[in-house]
Amino acid sequence: MSAGQHFIVAIERTDPVVVITAAGELDAATVGRLDSAIDEAIREHEHHVVLDASGVSFVDSTGITALISGLRRLNRSRRRLALACTAGGPVGRALEITGLDHTFECHATVQDAVQALSGAPLIGR
């Protein structure tokens, strides 16, 4: 089994947001799947996006770059990105080490992230 097979990404529209669930290793071999999911959310939906990263077991610098790129693409389309990840988990630790924990809207659970984005206006309004 190749490394790319250890990463799963799924999109679910759960009004009032789109939830992207990612699980497994987020690295150079798998970031394309996350990028594609974010692009699909932008193209197919008009809602803010929650990325459930609680199932991500490993993230490297290309994974962090993909998160930054996704945040920028969503912001350009006037939408927000919230992450659901624990502070002590791989994504939370990586964001803290890089100082990006203040750039991303991080929540302990998907429910908290959805609630934070519920009713939030589009960026710029």
The pLDDT tens digits of the residues spanning 22-36 come to: 999 999 999 999 999
Q: Which residue did the predictor score with more confidence, 4 or 94?
A: 94
Name the 3-class secondary structure at 85: coil
Coil/strand/helix, residue 78: coil
CA 50/CA 125 separation, integer angstroms: 20
Is the model's pLDDT at 125 over the cut of 70? no
pLDDT at 5: 58
Query: Does residue 1 register a pLDDT over 50?
Result: no
The tens digit of pLDDT for each residue in 73-121 reads 999 999 999 999 999 999 999 999 999 999 999 999 999 999 999 989 9
* Stated pTM of the model: 0.93
Question: What residue ranges do the domains of the chain occupy?
Answer: 3-117
Asked whether the beta carbons of 117 and 17 are under 8 A apart, the reply is yes
Helix (H) or strand (E) holding 14: strand 7-14
Tell me what pLDDT residue 124 has: 85
Question: Domain 3-117: which topology?
Answer: Transcription Regulator spoIIAA (3.30.750)
Region 59-84 average pLDDT: 97
Long-range contacts of 91-99 (CB under 8 A, 24+ apart): 91/26, 91/53, 91/56, 91/59, 91/63, 91/67, 94/59, 94/63, 94/64, 95/64, 98/64
3-7, 46-50, 88-92 — which is least confidently predicted?
Answer: 3-7
